Amino acid sequence: MQIVRYPHPVLRFKSVDVTRIDGQLRQIVAHMFELMHEARGIGLAANQVGLPFRLFVTCVGDDRDTPGVEQVYINPTLRKPKGFIDAEEGCLSLPELYGDVERSAEITVEAFDLKGERFEQRLKGLPARCVQHEYDHIEGVLFTDHVNEKTLAGFQEKLDLFIQEHLAAQETGTLPLDDAITKQIKQMVQQGKPEVELP
């Protein structure tokens, strides 16, 4: 299991609900935290590791300099947005790209934890932004969909490079073709469980 990069097809897949919390899911979550921390990120969604399920993890403080607490969000929903604020975002699936994105200043998130217990949080600031960013991921939306045209134009050279790297990996056989990836995604959805190799 590894963090996938744009334009991997799973990043545009609207994820489906997690239907079972078991030992395998707990292992996946633990490895997601490891990958997120290794990449110096503050959030990571399941589809960023190739799994089309409504799940993400975060570890974010009130600002970039404040230590965060690890949190798992399973089958999350967002509600009660309040206000708007612009701030810079990046993404582990789009490395070295940063741009301003308008988000709700405050949100309420409801989700399940790894014990299967529902919880609710009212978030603002960086935690609210992080959760909205990761929620977008499980909806198949990238932060680049929110930036203005000028910023997106500035991204184009790097986006083209990501596409070239994706195609090159497929040509060498280190990455399956998009049709095969899509088939595997749909198979996981039909089976209702992840197919993943864990270390």
Name the residues annotated as catalytic: 134
**49 within 8 A of 196, measured Cβ to Cβ:** yes
Residues 56, 169: Cα–Cα separation, whole Å: 26
Residues 177, 79: Cα–Cα separation, whole Å: 37
Closest residue by Cα to residue 125 from 146, 97, 109, 104: 104
Return the exposure string of 91-116: e unless at least 16 CB atoms fall within 10 Å of the residue's CB, then b.
bbbbeebebebebbbebbbebbeeee
Tokens of 168: 């090159």
DSSP string over 94-118: STT--EEEEEEEEEEEEEE-TTS-E
Pairing of strands 99-112, 69-89: antiparallel
Q: What is the CA radius of gyration of the chain?
A: 16
